[in-house]
A and B are shown apart, each in its own frame.
Chain A
């Protein structure tokens, strides 16, 4: 898979917050086989680079860093956070989150599109966290986004794919844009489900970080994402209402 001209070997992107310790996070990233991790800057940073200790741990993982603007509620906040992230991590990549509601953490699509335009013109490569709305997605592409990251369900809810129909039409509508399901994944089966729909990758955090054994769960997700992708590429059979024997009935011996 390729995003903004960069080839990724893994289709599983991991968030870095809420782990029991940075050491467990490092082991989980290894077990997931991820080559991209996303890091939140807003809360952790504080003033005068006080988050440096954690950032250098992240950099030492040896994977690509996708900084994010988690916790930002306005265009202004998100743009400022993105600029700080570019300076700290030396990357034009930014996972753009502009939250519209404190409780549901759903994106504010209007502010999102506006911020995506501003950041793209400023040279950023924007990974927008969006809803499954097609029109918003179109506006994001018009604003310069070359990847779209619709939610499966609200952040941290672990509910899986809330609206498979919408996600399926999004895939059909944007056959050439890399699509990443971001948020709402709780189980490996949810991740496999999205990959079977033809999604290019999965971004998740809580499902691994808050598992009793995050490292083992990271491995489970690696298998699920790989399995879902393989299944998609293998062109699955169509379900049908009638039984169809896998062994032909014709020519078998007499049955009682």
Chain B
């Protein structure tokens, strides 16, 4: 089967990989001029944290998300399985209890336990939750790793190309355009996320840390070389680039509350993009006519794309359905 994948974000690349692995002849077109240039994947946190996410996400995210923990280390060996941590400022410490009640596979650490894992956080928090099985990666390194793997499998990516009508030499079009597909998916909406990249050689962290706060729950992901990604706001808006001063202040406050040395950090980047989401914030593989849509990964692009790409390929090639994810209807059906 000849497959055209539209979009080279994390959804498009994982989908191309899933179809190519199953013997399809796959090619990818991407509107951006380079890998990640026009994808919201570029701004992702890269946390593979299915159990943490359960705090506000459905059980489906935990089930499907576990595939990512096996998938990414094979594609991108620099994926780090160091677990993740959840802390709260002292006056909001009860948030830890709430988070613990709503999630599983964690262990409560006291101050010494936390210091043992992250020496730079010694004495800063009385308690922490440790999710030992979780992992993280740098999205801007993981996408090229996957593109390299695809290249070796003979899957080309054509950049700077927009597709309106699929060419005739294609049997199946897999539409992974993210929010741009809202032109054909009316129930897709954007949820804006703003993020920062800080350089702070004074702080060493080995794993992502979530700061619970009743108003602004945020996370800090170490990227290596003294770089940290701080994210991310959640705003019901399809806007893609604008970052407000208020959001930057909140993100910086979270970093500063985690460790005062972040006050001296260099502000390397301020970024924003909109996540594509359906009303239940869960992904969909939807067939409309001869086009298969893979969309709605919301804030779980790297976490859910391996499973959703597999589901898409199995749905298209074997007719295998997954309750709540696969949908067929409309168009030429």
Chain A residues in the interface with B (C-beta under 8 A):
20-24, 26, 43-48, 50-54, 57, 156, 212
Does B239 contact A53, Cβ atoms closer than 8 Å? no
- Asked if A46 meets B242 with Cβ closer than 8 Å, knowing A51-B236, A156-B214, A212-B101, the reply is yes
Chain B positions 200-255 with a Cβ under 8 Å from a chain A Cβ: 214-215, 235-239, 242
| B190 touches A (CB below 8 Å) | yes
| B279 touches A (CB below 8 Å) | yes
Identify which of B235, B242, B280 contacts A21 (C-beta below 8 A). B280
Q: Distance in Å from the Cβ of A31 to the closest Cβ of chain B?
A: 16
Does A46 contact B280, Cβ atoms closer than 8 Å? no
Does B281 contact A50, Cβ atoms closer than 8 Å? no
The binding surface of chain A is classed by DSSP as: helix
- Asked if A20 meets B56 with Cβ closer than 8 Å, knowing A46-B192, A51-B237, A53-B189, the reply is yes
Q: Distance in Å from the Cβ of B101 to the closest Cβ of chain A?
A: 7
Instruction: Give the B interface residue count (CB, 8 A).
Output: 23
- Asked if A21 meets B237 with Cβ closer than 8 Å, knowing A53-B190, A156-B214, A156-B215, the reply is no
Chain B residues in the interface with A (C-beta under 8 A):
56-58, 101-102, 182, 188-190, 192, 214-215, 235-239, 242, 277, 279-282
Does A23 contact B102, Cβ atoms closer than 8 Å? no
**Nearest B residue to A23, CB-CB:** B280
Does A46 contact B215, Cβ atoms closer than 8 Å? no
The docked-state distance in angstroms from the alpha carbon of A156 to that of B215 is: 9
Does A50 contact B239, Cβ atoms closer than 8 Å? yes
Does B101 contact A54, Cβ atoms closer than 8 Å? no
Residues of B close to A156: CB separation below 8 A: 214-215
- Asked if A47 meets B242 with Cβ closer than 8 Å, knowing A20-B281, A23-B281, A156-B214, the reply is yes
Name 18 interchain pairs, CB-CB below 8 A, sorted by A. Answer: A20-B56, A20-B57, A22-B189, A22-B279, A22-B280, A23-B279, A43-B235, A45-B237, A46-B235, A47-B239, A50-B190, A50-B237, A51-B236, A52-B238, A53-B189, A53-B238, A54-B236, A156-B215
Given contacts A20-B58, A50-B237, A52-B238, 16 further A-B contacts (CB under 8 A): A20-B57, A20-B281, A21-B58, A21-B282, A22-B189, A22-B279, A22-B280, A23-B279, A46-B235, A48-B239, A50-B190, A53-B182, A53-B188, A53-B238, A57-B189, A212-B101
Identify which of B236, B279, B281 contacts A44 (C-beta below 8 A). B236
Does B237 contact A46, Cβ atoms closer than 8 Å? yes
Residues of A close to B102: CB separation below 8 A: 212
Residues of B close to A24: CB separation below 8 A: 280
Residues of A close to B215: CB separation below 8 A: 156
Residues of B close to A52: CB separation below 8 A: 238
Residues of A close to B57: CB separation below 8 A: 20
The docked-state distance in angstroms from the alpha carbon of A221 to that of B94 is: 23
Q: Distance in Å from the Cβ of B57 to the closest Cβ of chain A?
A: 7
Q: Distance in Å from the Cβ of B278 to the closest Cβ of chain A?
A: 8
The docked-state distance in angstroms from the alpha carbon of A43 to that of B194 is: 13
Does A21 contact B238, Cβ atoms closer than 8 Å? no
Q: Distance in Å from the Cβ of A217 to the closest Cβ of chain B?
A: 14
The docked-state distance in angstroms from the alpha carbon of A54 to that of B235 is: 10
- Asked if A21 meets B214 with Cβ closer than 8 Å, knowing A44-B237, A46-B242, A47-B239, the reply is no
The docked-state distance in angstroms from the alpha carbon of A51 to that of B58 is: 24
